Amino acid sequence: MKKYNLQVIIEQDEDGVYVAECPALQGCYAQGETFEEAIENIKDVIAMCIEELKERKKKISLKYPEVIGIKSLEVAV
C-alpha cells in the first residue's frame, strides 16, 4: 500500500460546517460537523479519488503549490 502526503484546506462555512478540500485532486471535497469529522471524511474521499485515478490508469500527479499560511488582515478604506 502506497502512502501519499497531500495538503488539505479546511474552512468553516457560515452554518458552522467544516469543508475540506484537497487542491491536488480535482473535485476532492468533503465536509463534517466537526473539524475531526471533516478530516476523516476528506481522507476517505482522497482514497476514493486516488483509486479512481488508478482504475482509469491515469497518472497520479500530486504536485501542487504548497500552502504556506493564511493570515487575517484588517484594512481600512
32 by Cβ neighbours in 10 Å (0-12 / 13-18 / 19+) ranks as: middle
Tell me which range, 42-46, 51-55, 63-67, is most confidently predicted by mean pLDDT.
42-46
pTM: 0.81
What number is the average pLDDT over the span 9-25?
Answer: 94
35-51 pLDDT, tens digit per residue, is 999 999 999 999 999 99
2 has pLDDT over 90: no
Residue 54 to residue 21: CA distance in whole angstroms: 20
Share of the chain above pLDDT 90, in %: 66
